[in-house]
Amino acid sequence: MKRSARLTVIALFALGVAAAAWYLLSTRLSAPPAQGRTGAPASSGPTEPVVELARADMLRIEPGRLTRTLPVTGTLAASAQTLVRARVAGDVLDIPVREGMSVSAGQLLARIDPTDFELRVNERTAQLRSAQAQLDQARRTLENNARLLDKAFISQNAFDNAQSAVEVAAAARDGAEALLSQARKALADTRILAPMTGIVAQRFVQPGEKISPDGRIVSIVDLSRIELEAAVPASEIASVKIGQRAQIRIEGMAQPSSARVLRINPSTAAGTRSVTVYLGLDKVDERLRAGMFAQGSLTVDERDGLLLVPLSALRERGSQRHVYLIENGRIVERSVETGLIDESASAPGGFIGVAEIRSGLNAGDQIIRQNLGQLSPGARARITD
């Protein structure tokens, strides 16, 4: 009986040892080996998360050129234009020009009925002949009186009266000449001539109409020289100078045009508080017309050798600006001081707007150039393709 109990205990012990061995073996086989680069077992601690960044999200800072521009918009205007008016009253006989026609300086634009003015010239001519005849008679009388005075046949007073009559007749002759010149000028003014070379923009009267002095006949514009009248905010006018260059696009034209600042208005416009700047086109296309809308950018400052970053890379916290960098495989937040900013300039990667970095970054630093959400400084980062 004692031997049978001993055998039972030995069998139970062997069974327990076999079960423990089976459990250990199955656990080892189901768990993958965790080893580091040296083959040693890995640490059993928690794994630190890694932020993966695309290489396209990074930008290496290199010195570049910054061009600060101002947007300009306005309409084209002819630098030379005139409004031709009538100088005399009368009936319009003929206007041989119409809108859109080219005219040369001195070309006939309109004719006013000259009948009344021709009659007035004839009248003034007759008055001049009469005055000249009276002057001739007064001179002959003076010569006769001079001979009589030498012989003491007349008094000195009679001679002085004859001399005065000559002076009066000469003045009347001069007045008649002036009236004749005035009448001839009025007759010449019945022919309206072009004061400049250009294109007829508008015709205000028709043949047969009655026109008064200073009445409008036609307007002429010279499209050989065209200017862009652009409004610049008063806060930016201090940076605009004569001779600065601009690139503008005109509605209906495929290619941009270059221009430069010719003049700056000395006062602001009422209501808008803007200052008008006049830009002259370097090359005038014959298809351009006054009044066409144009917009572009005026270069007001240009510097080279600056560290530039896209505006999309800047983060603001209060009055401080900072960027995110990758250093030694970790995200680093770096405060920067900015200088010139151009919101319309093109930055690498297709971004619009760049800023000059005066301090905080060095050439060769890699920054995250756009907003990728909330990033934690100090977190591990990895750049992938």
Give the β-pairing of 330-347 and 320-327. Answer: antiparallel
Gyration radius of the chain over CA positions = 49
Residue 3: its pLDDT value, please? Answer: 55
User: Across the strands, what pairs with 296?
Assistant: 72, 248
* Extents of the domains making up the chain: 55-66+303-384, 71-79+222-301, 83-200
Give how far Cα 147 sits from Cα of 151, 168, 190, 249, 349, Å: 7, 21, 51, 88, 110
The hierarchical CATH code for the domain 55-66+303-384 is 2.40.420.20
State the 10-residue block means of pLDDT for the chain, 385 residues long. 56 61 51 42 60 80 79 89 93 93 93 94 94 91 86 84 90 94 94 93 93 94 89 89 91 88 89 88 85 89 80 82 84 84 66 80 82 75 79
Degrees, nearest 5: CA angle 123-126-130: 140
Residue 331: its pLDDT value, please? Answer: 83
SS (H, E, C) 106-147: CCEEEEECCHHHHHHHHHHHHHHHHHHHHHHHHHHHHHHHHH
Fold classification of 71-79+222-301 is Elongation Factor Tu (Ef-tu); domain 3 (2.40.30)
Give the β-pairing of 50-54 and 380-384. Answer: parallel
Residue 46: its pLDDT value, please? Answer: 61
**Taking the model in full, what pTM does it have?**
0.58
Task: Say which amino acid occupies 59.
Answer: L
User: What would the DSSP string read from start to end of 31-99?
Assistant: SPP-B-TTSPBPP-SPPPPEEEEEGGGEEE--EEEEEEEEEEEEEEEEEEEEEEE-SS-EEEEE----T
Residue 37: its pLDDT value, please? Answer: 38
